[in-house]
């Protein structure tokens, strides 16, 4: 958990400190600052650009993320002494989030094997990450539906970890495997492509306003060397 928290915070700090010296919003982009949150929110909630570019990939990714969200919501009961009312109601519904996750992950893995352009850009870490997520979803589904785990004991164990007063870990093998895989994922998270969850908010192609004519963006090197600005303007005039 320390690796996860420190690693994610360091990456977010690095993203925030990285300069964006060029206007590179992917068009059509908002022409006002108010449109930027709407655009970023559309990418976070409905994966708008992915939906426009590849419907099959969008379906696979959306199934996985929807299943993951449902699984996280249903796991919240392990982190609160008294489950909030909304989460308690969610827990009474059987969404089978593990199966939804497996459907999306299976399609994503299959596309990397059979679609040439996906296979071409895939590296070993991509397959490792997919297999790790598949293993987590599978063991979680098994622990819930086939190898029943003592939920009360699991909650006591998790609450003990949160309070820094650990108690004995549940002895069910499926829980130990599932929990260990989740810890491995958390430790690997800051060094993987999963950091796109935070990086999306810092992407200049998504968070920039399309106003290069109305508001000039001066690059850092131009501020440090103002004598270079007239040269750049002459080059711009010559190109037009």
3-26, pLDDT tens digit by residue? 999 999 999 999 999 988 788 888
Residue, of 97 and 236, whose pLDDT is higher: 97
Q: Is the pLDDT of residue 232 over 50?
A: no
Cβ distance 144 to 98 under 8 Å?
yes
pLDDT band for position 104 (cuts 50, 70, 90): very high
| pTM, rounded to two decimals | 0.84
Cβ distance 62 to 104 under 8 Å?
yes
Residue, of 215 and 231, whose pLDDT is higher: 215
pLDDT band for position 234 (cuts 50, 70, 90): low
In this prediction, residues 152-156 reach a mean pLDDT of 88
Mean pLDDT of the chain: 86
Around Cβ 217, how many Cβ atoms within 10 Å?
12
Please give the Cα distance from 235 to 240 (Å, whole number): 9
pLDDT, position 80: 78
Tokens of 52: 């426009």
Please give the Cα distance from 2 to 16 (Å, whole number): 21
CATH superfamily, domain at 2-9+25-213: Transmembrane di-heme cytochromes, Chain C (1.20.950.20)
**Eight-state DSSP code of residue 21:** -
Q: Please count the CA atoms within 13 angstroms of the CA of 36 that sit on its side-chain side.
A: 16
Q: Is the pLDDT of residue 128 over 70?
A: yes
- Distances in whole angstroms, Cα of residue 176 to Cα of each of 114, 149, 183: 34, 10, 11
Q: Is the pLDDT of residue 88 over 80?
A: no
Query: Domain extents for the chain?
Result: 2-9+25-213
DSSP helix/strand/coil, 206: helix
pLDDT band for position 64 (cuts 50, 70, 90): very high
Q: Is the pLDDT of residue 70 over 70?
A: yes
Please give the Cα distance from 134 to 40 (Å, whole number): 28
Please give the Cα distance from 155 to 139 (Å, whole number): 18
């Amino acid at each position: 958990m320390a690796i996860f928290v420190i690693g994610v915070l360091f990456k977010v700090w690095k993203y925030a400190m990285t300069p964006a010296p060029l206007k590179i919003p992917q068009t059509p982009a908002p022409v006002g600052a108010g449109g930027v949150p709407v655009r970023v929110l559309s990418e976070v909630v409905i994966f708008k650009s992915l939906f426009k570019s590849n419907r099959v990939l969008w379906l696979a990714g959306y199934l996985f993320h929807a299943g993951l969200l449902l699984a996280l919501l249903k796991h919240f009961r392990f982190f609160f002494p008294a489950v909030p009312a909304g989460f308690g109601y969610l827990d009474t519904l059987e969404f089978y989030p593990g199966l939804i996750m497996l459907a999306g992950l299976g399609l994503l893995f299959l596309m990397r094997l059979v679609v040439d352009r996906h296979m071409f850009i895939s590296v070993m870490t991509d397959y490792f990450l997919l297999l790790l997520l598949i293993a987590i979803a599978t063991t979680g589904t098994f622990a819930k539906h086939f190898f029943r785990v003592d939920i009360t004991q699991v909650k006591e164990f998790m609450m003990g970890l949160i309070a820094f007063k650990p108690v004995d870990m549940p002895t069910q093998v499926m829980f130990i495997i599932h929990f260990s895989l989740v810890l491995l994922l958390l430790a690997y998270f800051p060094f993987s492509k999963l950091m796109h969850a935070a990086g999306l908010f810092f992407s200049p192609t998504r968070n920039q306003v399309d106003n290069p004519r109305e508001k000039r963006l001066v690059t850092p090197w131009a501020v440090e060397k103002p004598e270079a600005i007239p040269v750049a303007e002459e080059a711009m005039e010559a190109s037009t």
